[in-house]
Structure 1
Amino acid sequence: MVEQGLRAGVIDVLRVEIAALRGKGRKAAYDAAMNDPAILHDCFALLRARPELFASVVVDEAGQPAAADDIVLRCGATLGQCKSMVVRAAGRRHFHRKLGGFRKIAIPSRKPRSLLSVLSLGLLGHQPPPATRRVPARGEILYRAFREYLRFDWQARLLTHYSEFSPEEAKRLGPTILEMREPWELRALTGKDGQQMRAEGGRPIFLDSALRLMQANNDSIDAEILWTVSQQMELSRLIPNADQGRMRKVVSLVAATSKFAISQLLPLLGADMRLFVTFLFVAFARLGEGEFRKCFMEGGENQWMAKVLIDRLADGGPLPSPSVEEMEAAFGAVFDRAAGLPAGDRRTVLQPATSG
């Protein structure tokens, strides 16, 4: 029922809306989406962003449009379960195509036939092919290791990165797989340093508590650990003209964040390494070096601004997921209100709101 619905109504919407599927028949469009993780990612993104396009084909048991993952659809499964089925099916296709699905191996004969038995059966000169059996190749073995953790639509774009892992590594990571939602997180694991860390059974540093950044017996940030995290998270994308020399300087300045600002940020961000580090890099990018020094570094004359900005973040609703794009948008909105204004106007904009 699920596959039938996908191959008909759902794929018809996607054939219109997704550029890579336009002009294709139903079967070709379905196969294209299931065979290409990037296209599948775009399909899921469309479903999230424009659920009204699917109002007549993604419906609950009463025939009403369904957009929440916990709603039971007409097919009998929830929308979330349907997404899981699609991600698993696409993952299996991708792993099989890249690493092989199944292979045949010969089954050794238990006892060689005697010449007399061969002659009596008339087999001389035309021996039957050896018996074989079908065994899983590396792609199927990897799929089985990952299957339990292929659950969410956001994992579609990660399938190509998952295929870089061995089945043993996938099993060792276990539920940690679901903590990593970004391609950069998986690239950090498949790089040289990540391979060594995986071989030792360790966890990526960016999944540690932000307290890991703090120097021993000191409440200040360790610049070398911050450098490692910034490289793993590919945070140079947030800084204009960020060659290695520029990034080294930015890291040294961010590492000098005042103890006051750190004490305000850590409880708010739940000591999440990714949120904590990204907030400080977004602060630097939005404020510029001069204003960052004044607001966020020890001895800065406007450290009160850091408190106001952090309070505004606290009042801004739920924290973003640890996606660099989502974090940049959420954190950047706090700073953009003050960006580009003269100092006097900026002070007015950043003043705490008064009641009444």
Structure 2
Amino acid sequence: MTVGRTDKVLGHGDAIRFINETLKGPVAEIFRALVPAFGDIAGPDFYDTVMASSELLHGCILIFRRHRDQFRSLLVDARGRPVNDDFVQLRCGRSVHDIIAMIVRTHAKRHFKETLGGDPNDPKSRAGRMYQAMNEYLIHDWQVPLVPHYAPMPVEKVLEMGPRILDVREAELLDAITAAASGWSSPPPSHGLPATRPPLPPRFEVGAPAQSATVVARRGGAFMPVASVQSFSGTPQEEFWWEAMTDKKAVEVLGSRSGHEMREMVAALAGVNETVRSELFAGLSLSTVQAAVCLSTAYRVMGRNVFNQVFGMPGKAQMVEAVAGRMRKRNVNSRTELKALVGLTEGAVRG
């Protein structure tokens, strides 16, 4: 999900190899440090184990979202500056968003090969026909748990739906579409999978209580909480900011808000312009949670309309640069405490 440093702009093939090596090496090492249950799984084995399981892969992505700061040494741009936005290019020329899409497609290939049979790179095989139909739409991390529900769909139905398949985020609805398209009166068959699949150690389980979902790592009978995320569905950028806004450290300094207030603020943060990303996020080397606290404070001080006029699209670049300049003079950086950041942001916004 992340990529580190290299000294030159890589071509497509070299970039893919570099990303895969980073996932199997430094990224696997960070996950082993974060989740003790991963401790005795070697890098390549870790990569293959996670890529083979929708459940594990989804859990690892959630951990990455919640502990993004642990990957900061790998998330740098061409000048070695920290990158805190999913859509900003990293040193390899790809963004976090690009790399996650690559991971989703790789996982889908493996699953289609296992469940449908054949080479997913061969459009004449069952796996290849499905991958060719789905490839363009395998983009987002929230699709990982849906991959097993994509596989049984008739290829003709996937082609008919086209980009509308991205509007379907519920596994049950995908199963219903598959059953209707195939003329089944029951859920789609498992395409030869055993009734009970052998557990993979360690295993993630993603619960779905009404207000939150908790990811836990399991080894034997022992469970260990790893990450907790509130339920939210929106664009990738909105989900990114929702995660940051509901981080425990952010809530401690910003306080809690109603669901309506949160959604309005998340929509505003998701619509910030490129100057905000380059001057505030990258320019000040803010972490994701710091950026959320900074922008939330600016939103509160300025009000929704003014915030959108200045920080939204197309925005007012000179005003954003002025705010960033004031914060730079106040020595705001990645080491600034969140409580102090609130006051410093207020002062910078007010001039």
TM-score by length of 2: 0.46
Q: What TM-score, normalized to structure 1?
A: 0.45
| Structure with bigger gyration radius | 1
